[in-house]
Amino acid sequence: MAVLDRTIRRVLDRMRLSVRPRATANRQGSHRSPLKAQGVEFAEHRPYVAGDDVRHIDWKAFARHGQLVIRSFEEERDAFVHVLLDVTGSMSRGTPPKIEVAQKLAASFAYVGMRQFDRARVVPFADDLDELPLAVRGAQDLPALEKLLEAAEAAGPTNFAASVRALAARGTPRGLVIVITDVMSPEGWDEGFRQLGAMGHELRVVRIGCAEDLAPSFTGELELHDAETGERVRLRVTKPLLERYRAEVKKHLEAAREACQRAGGRWIEVDVEMPMERVIKRVFGGPVHKTAARGER
Amino acid sequence: MTFAGLALSTIAAIAAAIGLTVLALYLLRRTPRPQVVSNVTFWMRAAQSSRPRFLRATKIPWIAFLLSLLVALLFVGELGDPRFGRGMRGTTVIVLAADRSMGAETGGERRIDRAVREVRRWVDRGTAGGRVAVVRAGMRPDTLLALTEDPSDLDRALVGLGLDDGPADLRAAIRLADRIITTSGDPGQILVVADRDVDEALETRATRVLVPVGMPADTIAIGDFTARRDPLAAGEYVVQVQLRSFSSREASARLQVYDGEVPLLDRRVLLRPGAGVSYAAQGFSAERADLTARLTSIEIAGSEDALALDDVAYAVVPALRPLTVLYVSRGNPYLEAALAVHPSLRVDATDPGSFSARSAEDLAAYDVLVLDRTPLPEGAQHAAAVLFSPPSGQLGAAGDADSPRVTAMLGSHPALRGVRLDGVRVRRALRFSLEPGDQVLVRSGGDAIAIARETPGRRTVAYGLDLGATDLVEREAFPLMVHQSLSWAASVRDEIPLPRRLGEPLHATDQTVLGPDGEPVDATALAVIRHQGIYRVGERAEAFSAAIHAREIPSGASAARFRTSDPLPPLAVLVAVALLLLMLLEWTLVHRGRLQ
């Protein structure tokens, strides 16, 4: 896989993608689910009620206590991993361009999901969504994913809320939604995050930043070209204006982060200049939910 | 530092060029540099929230452009005309010193060359807003350039500009300049471009400003150079040279005196600081002599001789011409012998009877009359006469002197030059009655026994001594007394031929005058002789020498202002260049991204 070289894959082989139990799917998998049924992980005893399978009666407990109790087990399910990849024009900025880092991260999430038998799907978005690609279930699906990522060019405006609405309209099953974006559009993030939370998805936002967005250094008479809309604005950029711009961007990002957290999501910051290994460790780190393959960690 | 003093058209052209440059730089500065950003919305929000209250950021470049243009144009104005905004327009008259000291050379440049450059600058500057005239301050001031508004007229006026060998009459030149300004009717100023200032007491209606040129300089000069016939040696002449050092250092030079091409004197002389020294040489014999004294190989410790003009001087020894004498006597061997010993006399003798019959025209053919005991007739018009014991007539005796003896003599009189009458015995002498202006040559007590009378166009010497009753005739002084009396009466025939002063006229009637270079001299130049040398009027030679004007080279009041050249470009040029560099630097900084 060209997007992920061997070094990155070696790092990814040690990573796991944890999903909250409520966000798991309905197939057998490696994630804890809230369901109590057949499984290998003992969950609890409960009183026998008529209709229960007599095979699950704990006869040893009946012998000790004289009461019929049923042994219940946690059911491990797989998960849907929806990677929403921002391919708007602003992702072309930075050195290296943010889109390159975003493509690697999207591939990484799909790769790790495939390894733990989840159904991962990378969905590029700009101001809308295209047809949903097939989920990656195995190594045979990686070439299609690579082709999808290579075809993703950073262009066009951002409408995250419309993209989320389109995602909902397509009946996307509940799962883990990873939004890889630079959040460099002023509107739509609060609504999109709120809707994702309302759909029962577990939300994880990976914001990719670059120095040009956060602390630009250019001054003088400038004609600013909007990388997404192509709009042109002529400004005499001075140091006070730069300070004001940084404050505006910081305020916007803080608002987006709070919206993410209100939707129960997790906000992760990375920078294009960070080494890829460090980026991967950061996005795959954080709170780990109990999984069937816990011992593998 | 000085200003460029450009013409109005040049100023306008420079102003337009600089204005366009400033505009171009402004437009370049205002040309935006493209910059792609992720989203311009955040920039617009920042711009709206950071807009200043009183002065919009977008207006600052426009204001900076106007200020830059204003400053640049002000500098152009200052560059072109230092009087910009100072109310000094009008008529400017430049007095250009053109005398001997302006030929002093220091650092390889003559003062006059520096002065001409100054004049050019001021003419260009003055014609930018008014009219300019140039007065040449030589020995006689004259107008070099009449009032004009065209600076190119100066080039035509400067053609053939030369220096006078004598001193400049700066006062007269300034008065002439003042009159020019007064008659022009405009306010104006007088610029004196010279190596010295004039007397502060000189009042002028117009403002007077000195533009000094020159630096302190040393010179060794010939202070005097004369040649005269030796009164004691007929046909010979004596040369005398006086040298002066106008330096505070030891100096030496080679003094050479030539008669034409023939060297008469060649010696090395040493001069102490500020000292003078004289050298005389005699025994030279020639029919006539054109003498030139030169100082060569001048060495001044730690300095150099700045002025070459004062290293040469001229003198002439006129040709000997026989003096025609009409000798009237009944016979006097002593007097005849005295006349006979003189080699330059041509004597015609006659008796008193024949003398009275001669006409005035006949007598006028003689240079001098010598009358022995013969009265000079009343009303006779001969210009020169030497009388011995005149009994009556003009300068007739008033009677006999009592107990005559020589008690006093006027040795300083030319008629008695070199004559000593000590111990002369006199047994009989006539005494003269004196008239106003008579000079008593020999006195016997209170009686005048020899007098000299000089009236316009006439000289007469009368001796009351009875040549037959004195031992004077046997003495060596007698022939000399006769000769000196003849010479004086014959009106400066053998006077010391002092060189003429520069600035005096040279009289020549219907004769071509040849100058020192052998070329005919224009008649208008004869009114004032400005250059030293030997002039020839027919057979006559006259020397005009500048040695009498030898003096220290003026260096002005302020040595700092007497620079021969500007070490730096004009101030306005420096400031303009600095301004341009600043603008370029600003543009480079603003557009540094584009230059990469």
CATH code for position B460 = 3.40.50.880
Contacts of B37 in chain A (CB under 8 A): 93, 212, 216, 224-227
| Residue B314 resides in a domain | no
Nearest to A225 among B30, B37, B42 (CB): B37
Last residue of a domain, one of B489, B504, B519: B489
Between A81-90, B79-88, B250-259, B361-370, the lowest mean confidence (pLDDT) is in B79-88
Contacts of A220 in chain B (CB under 8 A): 33, 590-591, 593
| Domain ranges, residue B433 | 323-489
Q: What percent of chain B is modeled with pLDDT above 90?
A: 19
The residue of chain A nearest to residue B50, with distances taken between CA atoms, is A241
My answer on whether B361 and B455 are in the same domain is yes
As for how many domains chain B has, the answer is 3
The nearest CA of chain B is from the CA of A232 a distance in Å of 8
Mean pLDDT of chain B: 82
Check: CB of residue B224 under 8 Å from CB of residue B314: no
Report pLDDT for A249: 94
| Residue B356 resides in a domain | yes
Domains of chain A (ranges, CATH numbers):
6-29+79-283 (3.40.50.410), 31-75 (no CATH)
My answer on whether B63 and B106 are in the same domain is no
Contacts of B60 in chain A (CB under 8 A): 236
My answer on whether B185 and B142 are in the same domain is yes
My answer on whether B334 and B481 are in the same domain is yes
My answer on whether B107 and B207 are in the same domain is yes
My answer on whether B108 and B58 are in the same domain is no
| Residue B499 resides in a domain | no
Q: What is the mean predicted confidence (pLDDT) over B44-54?
A: 73
Report pLDDT for B558: 40
Whether residue A210 has pLDDT greater than 80 = yes
Between A100-114, A127-141, A222-236, B423-437, the lowest mean confidence (pLDDT) is in A127-141
My answer on whether B332 and B476 are in the same domain is yes
Nearest to B39 among A186, A218, A235 (CB): A186
Whether residue A206 has pLDDT greater than 90 = yes
The nearest CA of chain B is from the CA of A289 a distance in Å of 36
| Residue B99 resides in a domain | yes
Q: Could you please report the per-residue DSSP string of B198-213?
A: --TT---SSEEEEEE-
B→A interface, C-beta within 8 Å = 29-47, 49-50, 57-58, 60-61, 590-591, 593
Report pLDDT for B451: 93
Whether residue A51 has pLDDT greater than 90 = no
Whether residue B57 has pLDDT greater than 70 = no
The confidence band for A297, taking pLDDT boundaries of 50, 70 and 90, is: very low
My answer on whether B115 and B175 are in the same domain is yes
Last residue of a domain, one of B471, B489, B507: B489
| Residue B460 resides in a domain | yes
My answer on whether B344 and B455 are in the same domain is yes
The residue of chain A nearest to residue B38, with distances taken between CA atoms, is A90
Contacts of B42 in chain A (CB under 8 A): 184, 186, 245, 248-249, 252
The nearest CA of chain B is from the CA of A285 a distance in Å of 28
Report pLDDT for B569: 60
The confidence band for B7, taking pLDDT boundaries of 50, 70 and 90, is: low
The confidence band for B285, taking pLDDT boundaries of 50, 70 and 90, is: confident
The residue of chain B nearest to residue A98, with distances taken between CA atoms, is B38
The nearest CA of chain B is from the CA of A203 a distance in Å of 24
The residue of chain A nearest to residue B26, with distances taken between CA atoms, is A221
My answer on whether B334 and B455 are in the same domain is yes
Whether residue A255 has pLDDT greater than 90 = yes
Report pLDDT for B130: 82
Dihedral Cα B206, B209, B213, B215, nearest 10 deg: 130
Residue where the block lists tokens 């003896």: B405
Which residues lie closer than 8 Å to B418 by C-beta, 6 or more apart? B231, B232, B480, B484
The confidence band for A33, taking pLDDT boundaries of 50, 70 and 90, is: low
What pLDDT digit, counting tens, does each position of B231-283 carry?
Answer: 667 678 889 999 999 988 999 999 999 998 888 889 999 999 988 999 988 88
8 Å CB contact of B50 and A244: yes
The nearest CA of chain B is from the CA of A209 a distance in Å of 11
The confidence band for B187, taking pLDDT boundaries of 50, 70 and 90, is: confident
Last residue of a domain, one of B431, B458, B489: B489
The nearest CA of chain A is from the CA of B26 a distance in Å of 11
What pLDDT digit, counting tens, does each position of B491-537 carry?
Answer: 644 445 566 778 888 877 777 888 888 888 888 888 888 888 998 88
Whether residue B562 has pLDDT greater than 50 = no
My answer on whether B51 and B200 are in the same domain is no
Report pLDDT for B84: 44
Report pLDDT for A54: 83
Nearest to A231 among B34, B40, B46 (CB): B40
Q: ipTM of the assembly?
A: 0.81
Is the pLDDT higher at A288 or at B569?
B569
| Residue B49 resides in a domain | yes
The H or E element that residue B177 is part of is: helix B170-184
Whether residue A287 has pLDDT greater than 60 = no
Q: Could you please report the per-residue DSSP string of B525-582?
A: GGSS--S-EEEEETTEEEEEESGGG--PPP--S-GGG--SS-SS--HHHHHHHHHHHH
| Residue B502 resides in a domain | no
Q: What percent of chain A is modeled with pLDDT above 90?
A: 31
Report pLDDT for B564: 38
Burial class (CB within 10 angstroms; exposed 0-12, middle 13-18, buried 19+) of A190: middle
Q: Which of B28, B29, B38 to mutate to test the interface with A (most CBs of A within 10 A)?
A: B38
Is the pLDDT higher at B32 or at B233?
B32
Q: Kindly state whether A287 is in contact with chain B, defined as any CB-CB distance less than 8 angstroms.
A: no
Q: Kindly state whether A221 is in contact with chain B, defined as any CB-CB distance less than 8 angstroms.
A: yes
Between A184-198, B44-58, B119-133, the lowest mean confidence (pLDDT) is in B44-58
What pLDDT digit, counting tens, does each position of B479-495 carry?
Answer: 989 988 988 888 644 44
| Residue B518 resides in a domain | no
My answer on whether B360 and B471 are in the same domain is yes
The residue of chain A nearest to residue B57, with distances taken between CA atoms, is A236
Q: What is the largest CA-CA distance in chain A?
A: 88
